[in-house]
Amino acid sequence: MSRLRGAVSVLVVAGALVLGGTGLPGSSAHAAQPAAKPAATGACPKTGAKVLVTALGNVTLNGKVVAVDGLGAALGALAPRPTEVCYFREKPKGEPPAAVKIAVNAIISAHLPITFYSDASFSSRVGMPSH
Please, what are the domains in the chain? 37-127 (3.30.420)
For 86-124, the pLDDT digits (tens) are: 999 999 998 999 999 999 999 999 999 999 999 999 999
Helices (H), the chain: 2-18, 71-77, 98-109
The Cα–Cα gap between 110 and 79 comes to: 14
Q: How confident is the model at residue 29 (pLDDT cuts 50, 70, 90)?
A: very low
The bridge status of strand 84-89 relative to strand 114-116 is: parallel
Q: What is the pTM of this model?
A: 0.69
For 37-90, the pLDDT digits (tens) are: 444 458 999 999 999 999 999 999 999 999 999 999 999 999 999 999 999 999
The Cα–Cα gap between 107 and 58 comes to: 16
Give Cβ neighbours of residue 40 (< 8 Å, ≥ 6 apart).
Answer: none
- CB of 88 closer than 8 Å to CB of 52: yes
